[in-house]
Amino acid sequence: MRSIISSDQFSHSQVLIYKGPASLPDLRPCLGSRKRAELQTLRACQRKLASDPKDKLFGILGILPEKIREDFRADYSLSVKEVCTEVVDYLLKTTERLGVICEAIHFPVHTGSSSLPSFVPDWSHIPQTTSLGHKYNFSAAGSTKASSRFLDERLNKLEISAIYLDTIEIQGVAVGTPCTLADYFMAFLHWRALLLDCLKGLDETAGHQLQEEFSASLCLGQVPLRWKPRQWLTVCYGLFAKLLHERLPHLPLDQGLRDYRDSQLDVEPEARRQFLQMHFGDRMMGRCFYRMRGHLTGMGTGLMLPGDIVVVPLGCSTPVILRAEGTRGEYRFVGDVYVNGHMNGEAVEQLKSGLRKVEKYVLH
């Protein structure tokens, strides 16, 4: 397995020094759990390419535990599509978790040559964002095990069991990849405008809670322990308002942002840009803010559209977005999603109390 780098980016010697075998990550932590060793190793080697995509997948087998090598053997007579799909099949059976489908990242839009089902990751592609379950310690489906099965011999259709949450009603502009500070500002102002419209008719308490959820969404719920939700709202609004005023002093801000612009922040002026990138920018990239019909909010893949549904699959660490397609009641996997108040087993508890139910969805 080797890295393929465009000649206009690096010289051959730079490729050998920075992108050669020595650049492979330490894979020992990935091999600690036999059940998840393959998926964790694939993630770790995501940014490595091979002249033949099958070389990447089969090459990884050589460093996995012997039991996995025995169960999943290299077979070059298979197509890339067959190999990638069989990886999903193998992981579903051995881990009883559904997280592998969240590695199928579709934003920015990537059209490969293998015509993979929407729920199958293209390991030959280097995505600009990562799955939420890979980076953060979410547990949306609690301790449940995946309930899934393929409906055809070619493994093109996967039936999953999931808890329906709601349907996307509005979504903001997506932050592209790559992006600049200006892209974060544009997205924030657009999302803020959508939020102001949602605030109409709400009393002060409900309005403030919605804004706290908004500030939590921007960082995917990763609020530093030193700040409480109300304080984090001040940090979020104050940071964006101050940086916007510095960069675009003639841009009119709504009264609420002007008030936060003058607030005291526990972030030094020279550290504000880095703070924004660390806590907001990296988490906004490739994603957009949304609100569902039942008023749940959050942030997810920039590929979402109004009418898409959000479900919590059994055995999955995050909710996912599905899009109805065709006339057979089937769905396209769109991406994973952060939902305020539903990232730590809340949907499962509602299921147990009878407030929600499990339904089956066929992905293609």
Over the stretch 91-145, which tens digit does the pLDDT of each residue have?
A: 899 889 999 999 999 998 876 666 899 999 988 787 888 899 888 999 999 999 9
Q: What percent of the chain has pLDDT over 70?
A: 86
- Is 80 exceeded by the pLDDT of residue 68? no
Closest CA to 2 of 42, 44, 59, 41: 59
pLDDT in tens, 296-319: 999 999 999 999 999 999 999 999
- Is 80 exceeded by the pLDDT of residue 10? no
Which residues contact residue 307 at a Cβ distance below 8 angstroms, ignoring those fewer than 6 apart?
167, 168, 323, 324
d(CA 77, CA 291): 46
What's the pLDDT score for residue 72? 73
What's the pLDDT score for residue 192? 96
pLDDT in tens, 168-216: 999 999 999 888 999 999 999 999 999 999 999 899 999 999 999 999 9
Average per-residue pLDDT for the chain = 87
Which residues contact residue 199 at a Cβ distance below 8 angstroms, ignoring those fewer than 6 apart?
207, 210, 211
Question: Cβ of 328: how many Cβ atoms within 10 Å?
Answer: 8
- Is 70 exceeded by the pLDDT of residue 282? yes
pLDDT in tens, 239-265: 999 999 999 999 999 999 999 998 888
Place of tokens 């769905």: 331
d(CA 304, CA 65): 38
- Is 90 exceeded by the pLDDT of residue 15? no
CB of 337 within 8 A of CB of 301? yes
What's the pLDDT score for residue 295? 93
User: Of 10-14, 31-35, 120-124, which gets the smallest average pLDDT?
Assistant: 31-35
Per the confidence metrics, is the pTM higher than 0.95? Answer: no
- Is 50 exceeded by the pLDDT of residue 7? no
What's the pLDDT score for residue 206? 95
Higher pLDDT, 27 or 310: 310
What's the pLDDT score for residue 33? 54
What's the pLDDT score for residue 14? 59
In the structure encoding, which two tokens stand for residue 84, read together? 């990638």
d(CA 209, CA 127): 34
Higher pLDDT, 290 or 129: 290
Higher pLDDT, 73 or 275: 275
Domain boundaries, the chain: 1-51+59-72, 78-176+287-364, 179-284
